[in-house]
Amino acid sequence: MSINHVDTDALSFDQLQVFLTAAEQGSFSAAARALGRTQSLVSYAIQRLEEQVGLVLFDRSGYRPVLTAAGHALLPRARRIVGEVGAFHALSRGLATGVEAEVCITVEPVYPMCLLLHAMVEFRARWPAVSTRVLVDSMGAAAEQLLEGHSVLGLLGPVATEIPELELRPATTIAMIPVVAPHHPLAAHRGEVMAEQLRDHVQLVLTDRSPRFAVSMKDRGVFSSQTWRLNDVGAKHAMLLAGLGWGGMPEHLVRADIASGRLVRLDSPYWAPHGAVPLWVCHRRDARLGPAAQWLAAHLASLYAVHESPEQIPDGPSPLQARSEE
């Protein structure tokens, strides 16, 4: 085939789609069947594309057309363009019917990642054209993301119950348990650990970086007069493993550590009032949620019926690396 000029202005989405289908199907006849066209129309579309780009895309000397080196080089670009055009049409159809372009959600790092991933997989299948943005923050700082309009949904802990501007639905309840490293002095104690014994050792406490809520939240579950405060649950986990202190952690995040002997669970009746922490699906009462955000909020709340008990939460991955508080 003789190619004499390049006419890129005449390129069409249909030609790229035909090119992509022919390459994926392995023949012009198979592409014709997949597209519901005649083989001659497929051949003509590809011939016109070759004329317009000034390159031979298929070697037709054999029994079946085979992509040339140029065809192989352009195939990923064609696939990307076809995909982007499809996404453009899907998003424009959604926007025309009131579906939002993006849903942003703020998640506390203690929320079980396995539940969030389950919800995100279902969300993508239901709303493929809607982008998601996940912010990870803790307690007061997480609540501020909603109050300031940076996110439309939140998965928040007890701080949410103190904010009348938020609409709440139960999301799940997590078990918080006191743990130490096996070489920590408290790990050698036999029987119940008394409050005075907890007070004698450094307690690792996650702190709130939000001045607005720090005063009301900072001493919940704090027993020791010796505290190391930090704002990252991953750092707290690492310090616990290093034996730098004792502290409360979500049971589903340290279950594997306890099973392997890397951490030891403390038996203390004084911790019992702090053992169950509810989490809530939240949004501002004055916010008008779009269809995708409404669906996601309802879906996250529906998981509560399945995982209402802390013991029903599966093992989670490593803690989210984020600022957090207790």
- Partners of 133 in the beta sheet? 104
Contact 146, 283 (CB under 8 A): yes
- What are the b/e assignments for 64-87, b being 16+ CB within 10 Å? ebebbeebeebbeebeeebeeeee
Share of the chain above pLDDT 70, in %: 85
Q: Is 231 a residue whose pLDDT tops 50?
A: yes
Q: How many CB atoms lie within 10 A of CB 141?
A: 25
DSSP 90-139: HHHHHHHTT--SEEEEEE-TTS-HHHHHHHHHHHHHH-TT-EEEEEE--H
pLDDT at 84: 79
pLDDT at 325: 35
Domains and CATH numbers, the chain: 8-96 (1.10.10.10), 105-326 (3.40.190.290)
- Find the mean pLDDT for residues 45-72: 91
* pLDDT tens digit sequence for 168-220: 999 999 999 999 999 999 998 888 888 888 888 999 998 887 777 655 555 66
Provide the sign of the torsion angle of the four alpha carbons 25, 29, 30, 31, taken in this order: positive
Name the pLDDT band for 324 (thresholds 50, 70, 90). very low
pLDDT at 108: 93
The pTM score is 0.65
* Averaged pLDDT of the chain: 84
